[in-house]
Structure 1
């Protein structure tokens, strides 16, 4: 069976750096499991690897869409499965790196996301509601058609709302009760975590570094195109700066909001992966030899075929 290693965990914990090291050691290639790194010209706020790092190891599902294009978990699942299958056939180790929980779950659990690829029967109606800002209407539809999902998913996330509605309409089953499909690959999930104060400091430091790298210009680009960027405009690191561009808030307060929302996001990520997936966790502060331990466990997972 195809062997896949995935690196998960909260934002800013060091997933990308570990992915690069493991890819070099195990003849691997990286598949981004991040829902925002697919977009071209959005590099700083999405924390993409540097241009040099992107050339050191082949990366997939990075810079594949313009920001005005829609991209769904179903798109990710289909593309990632094809890439993983091709890499395995070439004796390359597929390394999925990213913190978008539902993306990883769609792969690991082979979720049936419903509908045909070209089935737009319901999508246009839902997308129009999203464009008009009627999240309340989307929430009402989901509450009526799938009350279980309404209680369990993030109902402030329009993409999750739309996907949950599509799945219940296409399959007749709640997205929270999807049966796993036939197992198509064997996954080893590596989870990185850190003591909370240290993780939060890493997040704060990364936001400061992003500002130095030009985050404001990138966020202004998103702000100026927000009517055309339905998904990117809601990204953490961009939306918090809109009040600054409008003269409604100070830069300092907006940056504090980015840091706060990033910390909250990190907490949600950890909770999701801890509760929803079978992850082998490593605390990067408690275990000074965590990278060596990870490499040893990958060798066991692969059956010892790598040195």
Structure 2
């Protein structure tokens, strides 16, 4: 059975650094689980690893699409499974780093996402028209009515996930959260990093400040100027909050405060999802300075190997 390690947790908690260390120790390669790091030219707001880090260890599902392309959980699942199978055949350890609970669940639970997605279907067209008209609330009401289970669990502020969930319930008659195909295809060890809330929020706030120093405004302006052609990127945290500033409707400080607030809220939602929906081995990075060594020992046991 293929062995896969996944590292989850809120932004700025140290997932990427841990992933790089584990990849080097265990002859592994990194698979990004992030739905935005796939896009070329969007580096700062998506918190990609640096060019040196990307070169130090092979990374997959990073910089594979242009910002005007759509990318679904089904696309992620198919690509990630292929990479995992290829790495396993090469006796390398696949390390899925970052990403949302639903993305990771599509892998660990081998979700059946309703067959080939038809972007020209009438249902998709109708739902896309609502999204383009800014009718997110109507999409939320449709999902709440047709699939209340998914409405309670998925990120209902994400229009594309609303659309996909509605498509699945209408196509299969089952909630997208129940689309298991019953076939276990890999063993997963899920490592979760977290921190005490005040420290975590401080980390998130400092991460946003660092992004600004690194050129976030220029990158967000690029997305703002192309928002009609960037259907997913324009909704990314770190970009959309700056649109009022570029439109001269808000101050920069107010917009940065909004980025920090939304980042903190997203971190809280993700922690709740992983804690309640998935079997994650959590480590509070402030509680034990030796947590990385403990994780390494557990991975050795998980993969059935021996420490050299």
Partner of 1:293: 294
- Write the deviation string for residues 23-82 of structure 1: whole angstroms up to 9, x where unpaired: 000000000001110111000000000001000000000011111100000000000000
* Number of residue pairs aligned between Structure 1 and Structure 2: 307
Partner of 2:224: 223
How far the C-alpha of 1:117 sits from its partner, in A, is: 4.3
**Partner secondary structure for residue 94 of structure 1:** strand
How far the C-alpha of 1:180 sits from its partner, in A, is: 5.0
Question: Within 5 Å, which residues of 2 pair with 1:95-106?
Answer: 95-106=95-106
In structure 2, do the counterparts of structure 1 residues 83 and 14 end up closer, same or farther at CA, with 3 Å as the change threshold?
same
Assess if the C-alpha contact under 8 Å between 1:26 and 1:306 holds in 2.
Answer: no
Normalised by the length of structure 2, the TM-score is 0.96
Assess if the C-alpha contact under 8 Å between 1:236 and 1:262 holds in 2.
Answer: yes
Please state if 1:270 is matched with 2:271.
yes
**Partner secondary structure for residue 74 of structure 1:** helix
Most deviating of 198-207 and 169-178: 169-178
Question: Within 5 Å, which residues of 2 pair with 1:92-171?
Answer: 92-118=92-118, 120-121=120-121, 122-171=123-172
Partner of 1:38: 38
Normalised by the length of structure 1, the TM-score is 0.96
Residues in 2 aligned to 1:243 and 1:269: alpha-carbon distance in whole angstroms: 26
Question: Within 5 Å, which residues of 2 pair with 1:1-307?
Answer: 1-118=1-118, 120-121=120-121, 122-179=123-180, 181-305=182-306, 307=308
**Partner secondary structure for residue 103 of structure 1:** helix
How far the C-alpha of 1:120 sits from its partner, in A, is: 3.9
**Partner secondary structure for residue 62 of structure 2:** coil
**Partner secondary structure for residue 186 of structure 1:** strand
- Write the deviation string for residues 177-218 of structure 1: whole angstroms up to 9, x where unpaired: 333530000000000011111111111111111001000000
In structure 2, do the counterparts of structure 1 residues 289 and 65 end up closer, same or farther at CA, with 3 Å as the change threshold?
same
Q: Give ranges in structure 2 of 5+ residues lacking alignment.
A: none
Residues in 2 aligned to 1:177 and 1:40: alpha-carbon distance in whole angstroms: 33
How far the C-alpha of 1:154 sits from its partner, in A, is: 3.0
**Partner secondary structure for residue 24 of structure 1:** helix
Assess if the C-alpha contact under 8 Å between 1:11 and 1:265 holds in 2.
Answer: no
How far the C-alpha of 1:144 sits from its partner, in A, is: 3.4
- Write the deviation string for residues 134-190 of structure 1: whole angstroms up to 9, x where unpaired: 223322332332233234433222112111111112211012333353000000000
**Partner secondary structure for residue 199 of structure 2:** helix
**Partner secondary structure for residue 18 of structure 2:** helix
- Write the deviation string for residues 203-248 of structure 1: whole angstroms up to 9, x where unpaired: 1111111001000000000000111111111111011111111111
Residues in 2 aligned to 1:176 and 1:16: alpha-carbon distance in whole angstroms: 28
